[in-house]
Amino acid sequence: MSLTGSTSNRMWTTLCFVAGLLLCVGAAKLPSTTTTTTTTKPTLTPLSLEDLFRIMFHRDDLNNDGVQTLSEFEQLWRQADLNGDGSITLTEYSTTLHFTRFVSREVYKYLDHDHNGVISMQEVPRLFTEFDTNYDGWITEQEFVDETFRMYNFVKKDIGPDKK
Ligand SMILES: [Ca+2]
Ligand SMILES: [Ca+2]
Ligand SMILES: [Ca+2]
């Protein structure tokens, strides 16, 4: 695997990852354009990665009860299976999650344990247990944030400057 431009590459990767998340969040959360009538310019505080991961968690908590169940998790993956053939390809994955294709490929690689290039619906319960680290059948917000950080660090490491 050949890489060009080490530090800028890493920065670009991080940027892409965050941009992907923002797009994700934007697509899920933003209401149709309503202009507020405030006269003062709102002060925007930058979101930390953790904030973004927490927003993603609540986006995926479909019934808003504060935990993600396997059934919610499967529902999300079924939505990603755009052609309904029982497996989620990289293209379907990146389309659904609004990641850039570059970042999607790295995250997909992380999730596709057997590296056969396809994530089948049968693999989804296994993915669920990766997030449900205490195996109690629920993904809590903290479990989701922790696993997403692991994923994020994997993506950074895998395409970081030290990798030849
Ligand atoms: Ca829920
Ligand atoms: Ca499919
Ligand atoms: Ca749990």
**In the structure encoding, which two tokens stand for residue 64, read together?**
């808003």
Question: What is the tens place of the pLDDT at every residue in 8-52?
Answer: 555 445 544 554 544 444 444 444 555 556 677 777 788 888 998
Report the alpha-carbon distance of residue 36 to residue 134 in Å, rounded: 43
Question: What is the tens place of the pLDDT at every residue in 41-69?
Answer: 777 788 888 998 999 899 999 999 999 99
**CATH classification of 6-28+62-158 is 1.10.238.10, yes or no?**
yes
Question: What is the tens place of the pLDDT at every residue in 118-134?
Answer: 999 999 999 999 999 99
Q: Which residues surround ligand 1, an ion (CB under 5 A)?
A: 61, 63, 65
Alpha carbon of 55 to ligand 1 centroid (Å): 14
Alpha carbon of 158 to ligand 3 centroid (Å): 27
Alpha carbon of 83 to ligand 2 centroid (Å): 5
Dihedral (CA of 149, 46, 80, 115) sign: negative
Report the alpha-carbon distance of residue 48 to residue 80 in Å, rounded: 26
